[in-house]
Structure 1
């Protein structure tokens, strides 16, 4: 698995942020039975930058916590059979490594900090949640209707529980 991580903001990240991101991504891929090695781009930004991206790509004029930019048009979530189609597969794999190009995750660390305080848990937990959430989007999941939202919520919680990343307010990393 390749993680391309960029930190384009000035807020402090948890000391083990990159390793935690790798663990969360691997756990999502395992829980979704991904048969491929994968490549993910993760960028940390501030509220101004995520606001700009949200306005540009979603026409929503406000900051948000995380944006997901999937590379594959999934027929159904984590249904890898669509990658057997030559047209879909052509742009879905890195020609140099053979890895599945899942897409980009952009997280506002500023917003993640605010939410961690609001929910009473660590920044590590909030960033882990946002990565798990976004990874599910990269695999074709959505939460536009209550049934889809319930599926995503259950999957996110199971992923974080499997890694022991809880809402424990005593862990402030």
Structure 2
């Protein structure tokens, strides 16, 4: 597994972002039983930059906590059986499955940790778990999808032992 992290924010989180991100990404890959070595890109930014991305890519004129940009299309969420047939699914240099990009606002991590009365570590890990599920094709637009995704998020968080 390769996790490429870029931090373009001057905001400092009081946690080891790289080790937490690696832990959660690896746990999510194990949880979903991804049969391939995979790569994920993680961009840590601020509210202003994520606001611009949210406006550009989702036409939503506000900042947000996390954005997910999946590189793959799934017949069913978390089903890797047809991935090898997708053109450009694998990095030609490494052979790793390119899952996609995660963008997290460090300002939102701190604000939501305070608002939900848990640690920045828990909030950061949760946002990565949530986004990884999006990279696996899960969504939460419908109530049933939301319930499935919430259960999977909870199980990943339990797996890494980062709880409320």
CA distance in 2, matches of 1:109, 1:101: 24
Count of matched residue pairs: 164
Give the aligned partner of residue 136 of structure 1. Answer: 133
Kindly provide the CA deviation profile for residues 13-34 of structure 1, in whole angstroms up to 9, marking residues without a partner as x: 2342101101100110111010
- Equivalent positions of 1:102-113 (< 5 A) are 102-113=99-110
Kindly provide the CA deviation profile for residues 57-83 of structure 1, in whole angstroms up to 9, marking residues without a partner as x: 000000000000000011111111121
CA distance in 1, matches of 2:160, 2:32: 15
Shift of 1:124: 0.8
- Equivalent positions of 1:1-173 (< 5 A) are 1-85=1-85, 88=86, 90-167=87-164
Give the aligned partner of residue 171 of structure 1. Answer: none
CA distance in 2, matches of 1:126, 1:60: 22
Q: Is the 8 A contact 2:41 2:100 kept in 1?
A: yes
After superposing on structure 2, the runs of 4+ consecutive aligned residues of structure 1 that deviate more than 3 Å are none
CA distance in 2, matches of 1:132, 1:14: 19
Q: TM-score scaled by structure 1?
A: 0.93
CA distance in 2, matches of 1:163, 1:14: 19
CA distance in 2, matches of 1:136, 1:105: 11
Q: Is the 8 A contact 2:15 2:120 kept in 1?
A: no
Kindly provide the CA deviation profile for residues 137-171 of structure 1, in whole angstroms up to 9, marking residues without a partner as x: 0000000001100111011111111111011xxxx
CA distance in 2, matches of 1:83, 1:162: 26
CA distance in 2, matches of 1:116, 1:6: 22
Q: Where does the alignment leave 5 or more consecutive residues of structure 2 unmatched?
A: none
Q: Is the 8 A contact 2:38 2:97 kept in 1?
A: yes
